[in-house]
Structure 1
């Protein structure tokens, strides 16, 4: 089953900034998931995370979380790199306490290093975080996000490779980012190619538990500039949804458009009207 939700608290939520109220609004809208946004900092604590988990369970919602944007697991300064790993660990722990099954993160930047050197550095930091979470019996999947800029680590091959090599890691596939970073991947055939690569590399289970980000996107040669509403962009979301229907995709599809709940409902509505072509 593919569940649709918002990246953060819906804009129509009356209690601004209240995560529990946001969950209730998600359910009222007829959506079935939400991504908790720690993008500017981890704002939940043990005492405030517990009610979020309780309400989500009561409403039948599945939760994910997005770690702070400022992470860079390939920071040139070793101390800052270790600190970034600490932030990811803390964010993952609090996300799990709030009932999130997965935490999405931007892994880092290439800087002046070779892609292989960056891969090794980021993999080592993720392994450290995974080890701490295992020691604490924290159950959550770490999901490096497919990057939207050419300067960022995290192309499709890199996040698939991390997911193959590290238990507890799975991809977060942002189709808008993929389109922005490559200037391609905006047709049924290309979307189907991505899904086929995921299935071949990571097994059928990866398609049953996808974590997807979808929005309109403005981009240039270096990649992503800003997110747009779907109907204000060139992103062919109907063709993506058909490709997902055809592989009987499951998991979460999180909408990151500026009008998050409106586009999330649009995507859900279109998807429900589709039937597999194959």
Structure 2
């Protein structure tokens, strides 16, 4: 495992995420699919009290994860379920993965889901309801799974950087110096290249190839802002949390609120939707 190989994986993930953002942008926001407790369910079905509390998105995401869980998707250290406590046992024989990470409990899927619904969807989709609820949810699930995988790959980045400079990280974590750990993790030049590449890919993938219109399906600046204000900060949060557990320290309490995180900067919403 090397930093270069991990960065290559992260670059490949950009294509999946940007295509998924463009796919979701073809539909309206359709806020009804995110409203909790409105599913019309048969009270006699198993787990009715729990399922009744879910939104349409959460219900389809849960059922998708159950299916994927049966074929051992979530036994991979790169994958994190949004409903891990509801996964069935895999029906396939287990795979043996190399022990590249230290044992850890880092999982920011709750923050990803919250920010996705409240920041990402309003940024890329027009307001209103086009009644394409099923199609919108399928696009949501594809995008949420891609975002989760990309953000949690921060654990591998953190482990590699830890091995390169273990003494410094141990000293900073031992002093509960979150800012110091974040500073040591940060490579501003790499982040600038990520943003430039995301903007270029968005402008390339989102254009009308027939040349009938110059407008992109999603404003490239909006996709770059999602990377700047959501994806990169949450990835770094994962790295910080992992490093604290790696050294055997309890991470400092995050800031309060439903989108608790250490250094997340939520950018301006809107202004770039098509």
**Bin for the TM-score computed over the shorter chain:** under 0.3
Which of 1 and 2 has greater Rg? 2
Give 1 or 2: higher strand fraction.
Answer: 1
The structure with higher relative contact order (CA 8 Å, sep 6+) is 2
TM-score by length of 1: 0.25
